[in-house]
Amino acid sequence: MDIRANHLGIPLDISELDGENLSYFRHCAAHAFHLQACAACHLIRYPPTTACPWCASADARWVPVEGRGTVHSYTEVHHAIQPAFRAHTPYLVLLVELDTQKGQPTADEALRVVGNLTTAHGVLAPPEMVREVGIDTRVRMVFTDVAPGLALPQWTIDETARGSAPPWRYPQE
Ligand SMILES: [Zn+2]
């Protein structure tokens, strides 16, 4: 069955023909992060796809993956793309390198998962939290519920990893 939802003014539709994404977001809706592991070469992949990007095998199984990692890069958004985002600017889009499968199959092909920076409750982070986060910040996954069968994987600061050096951030005016 199709999923048709709306998140802060953005339509989020998943066709019933898109089995990979339906499975992916069904796990997220249960607040459990799963990715496909190739049955042939055993590498885990992201985003969900019909075939392994390394060996082209179509056989895969869903495996639980720990939602923990390090910010690899980020974008700080100051111009809202939808009116509903205006109240949340500036907000961060994070590219997070997972601890799982780090450096495999090469250092440049690690698992990197996109999400917003949110509070621990999955709401877009307030400005004081945005200012704390940059490259190398340790984060953990949380979920934003959108509709039945659909939740978005997001990122929040990993409180257990605080106290290390400040992260790298783009120079501020
Ligand atoms: Zn493979």
Residues less than 5 Å from ion ligand 1, measured at CB: 38, 40-41, 52, 54-55, 57
Task: Measure 18 CA to ligand 1 centroid, in angstroms.
Answer: 20
Predicted local distance difference test score (pLDDT) of residue 1? 78
pTM for the full predicted model? 0.93
Task: Using CB atoms within 10 Å of the CB of residue 146, give its burial: 0 to 12 exposed, 13 to 18 middle, 19+ buried.
Answer: buried
Predicted local distance difference test score (pLDDT) of residue 173? 56
Residues of the chain with pLDDT under 50: none
Residue 130 amino acid letter: V
